[in-house]
Structure formats: structure tokens, C-alpha cells
Structure 1
């Protein structure tokens, strides 16, 4: 369990969610067997709900891993979207590309094999305001560095969803902080302050999974 919500509550809520069909089920099994992190069950279901509501035509994902979240979102949207996902890890990119091709998602999911920050800097020069939906699930200590570029890339009415923002509860309580994680915790707190205190943004933080933040721009036209 995540340490964010009570175990009994997480267990109950997860039991309400139907098991995923293939190829997601096999990818979940691979993740468990090989200790590769993917989004938690309730977060996966939350992503399905959000893309169904928003119906984004263009999605940016930071952190590809084995391609699970990209395929999940694309599948829920019946492949009626373009997804760009960024990851620096050679092995993960290879596995993700294999999953994407093998299951028929090669035409609408593109992997950028590069450091997220470097890729974002380049993209922000040519793709300003192109993305309806950004899912941030990469290096937890760099969310505050990713944010300015993500805001440049986001449409005026777009949504940013950031995963793992409570980081095993450490972000909310000094009593839980592990010494070797202090830097990540400090940077994540800074990120949450950035998205919560900015008067141009509207953010809510949900204690689901390892903590999710949802951010959008305020509508100044009303």
C-alpha cells in the first residue's frame, strides 16, 4: 500500500475497480514480477476517467517506463489521440517501444528517448500551447523544473496531472522523511507550493495512490 490512505480504504476502493483486459493485464503482471513501477490501480482508473472527461487530442507524458500509462490512455480514447511520451532509460524505452508496437499503438504513441528536461526545452520552442493534457510521472525531484515548460506546452484550457506528489506521505509530514530522500521531499514541496500559490493556476491535491495533483489555468474571461 502507498502509506497515503489507510490500508483498509485502499483495499476496499481497489476491489471496486474491475481488472484490466489485455494488454494492460499482462503489463501489470510484468511490472509486479520485475519490480518496474507503474501507476497504482486507482490512479490508472483515475486517468481513464480524466481522459474520458477531457477527451484530449494531444497528450504529453513525462516518464514512459514500460508504456503502461500511454497505452492505457490511448486504449480508453480508442486511439483517437496523439501521445508523446519521454523517457531517458535505455531498457525501459526498448521495452515500451516493443509493447507499443506489439499491441498496435505505434501510430499514435511516440517515444522521445531523452532526458525530460532537455526534451521539454526543445519542445517548448516549437510546440507552445499544443497539448490538452500532460501527465507528469518522471523524476520526482524535478517537477518544479518541468513545470514552466509544461505550462508553455499546455493549451489555455489544458490539464496537468502530477503523480506521486505526496511521496509516501513524506511531503506532508517531517516525521516520515527518510534522510536520503530529503532533497526530493524539499523539491516536491516547492513544486506543490508553485502550483498551489500561483494565482493564475487552480490546483487540487488528492490523497490517492501516492498523491495526485490536478492543475489547470483559471478562466480570466468571466
Structure 2
């Protein structure tokens, strides 16, 4: 269930989405049983639309989990696609590799294990789309280390940017989450106001930001 929209709206919209009948349905069941975070059905639909809309063939993902969104985007990308995905948790990364092999995508999806803040420094090439769904307090760092790898005209997407509504409403704020919320606010303000990006933030799932790269981003020293 979405944590930032009325339940009846969320239930109606999710009810419109056809259920998966393949490996994705299996992974949805696993995620629910093991309390493993994966994208919500509406965000999954958004990712499929974005991949097809920009004809993304080279995708960078930060936060693999069990490989659900990697496989989802791969199925949407068609033939001759390449996804590089980073996962910090070794057990999740190993499970993701198994799931990717189940669908025969091991030649197209490369899982890198490690802290994305470090791994991103060693990734080369240019990507059509970047999807970030990892440690929320590090989104600005992930952005700074990856936006230069996104082609002009490419799409940069981040999930969970409203963080259970806490980013938008102070009364929802949990004390131990103050630092994460402050960092997310700073990140959202930044990507919404620089002229190198065209950004919109959608109250879907737990909040999704979508940015189109208009020109190269220059950071202050």
C-alpha cells in the first residue's frame, strides 16, 4: 500500500494493473513473504513505460535487492539491452544473480556487489537511464557520482523520495529519521532547481522523482 496517497485511490489504481504471470509474480511473492523491499506495482508500471518511452538499452541501477526491477526493466527493454546493477548486501546480490539466470538474462544484466558510493567510481560508459532505489540518505552522493554517466536526454529516476510522507509533512517525522529526511529534502530541492535537469516529483508509491538531463551538470567545488 502507498504510504502517501489515500488507500482507496491506491487500491483502485493498482487494481487496473494486470498481474504478472512470470518470474516477476514469483519474486513478488518472495518479497512479501520475506519482507524484502521491491518497487510497488504502480512504480513498476512507471518503470516499464519509461524504459519503452526513451527506448533505454543501457541502464544503470543503484539498489538491486533480489533483482526484481532489473528483470522488469530488462523485459521492457527488448533485445540487445544492458543493465548494470549495484547491490550492497551480498545475500541479496547472490539471490539476484540466481533470479536473473532463471530468465536467461545473465548475459544482459551484470550484478556488482559493494557500496554504490565506491562502485560508481569505477563504472565506465554512458547510460540511457539511471534508476536509484537504495540508501535514501545517500541519494545526493549517488546522483553526483552517476549523473555524468547519463547521456544528455537520458532519464534519472529515484524511488521513495517522499519517505513515508516525512519529507513533506513534519508531523509524520520520526526522530531517528531526521538526518535521512533532511538529506532527501536537500536532494529534491537541488534536482528541482538546477537548469541542467527538468524534474518532476510524483506522489506514487512512496514518491518518485523523474529528471531529464538537459545538459551536463556542473558541480561547485
TM range (shorter): over 0.9
1:162 aligns with 2:158: yes
Q: For residues 199 and 47 of structure 1, what CA distance do their matches in structure 2 show?
A: 24
Normalising by structure 2, report the TM-score: 0.95
Aligned length: 216
SS at match of 1:104: coil
Flag structure 2 segments of 5+ consecutive residues without an equivalent.
Answer: 217-221
Shift of 1:90: 0.9
Matches within 5 A, 1:27-176: 27-123=27-123, 126-127=124-125, 130-176=126-172
Shift of 1:149: 1.6
Normalising by structure 1, report the TM-score: 0.94
Q: For residues 41 and 79 of structure 1, what CA distance do their matches in structure 2 show?
A: 24
Flag structure 1 segments of 5+ consecutive residues without an equivalent.
Answer: none
Q: For residues 24 and 170 of structure 1, what CA distance do their matches in structure 2 show?
A: 30
Q: For residues 211 and 157 of structure 2, what CA distance do their matches in structure 1 show?
A: 6
Shift of 1:64: 0.3
CA deviations over 1:164-202 (Å, ceiling 9, x no partner): 000000000111100111111011001101101112211
- Superposition misfits of 4+ residues, deviation over 4 angstroms: none
Q: For residues 170 and 152 of structure 1, what CA distance do their matches in structure 2 show?
A: 29
Q: For residues 217 and 56 of structure 1, what CA distance do their matches in structure 2 show?
A: 14
Q: For residues 149 and 78 of structure 2, what CA distance do their matches in structure 1 show?
A: 24
Name the Cα RMSD after superposition.
1.2
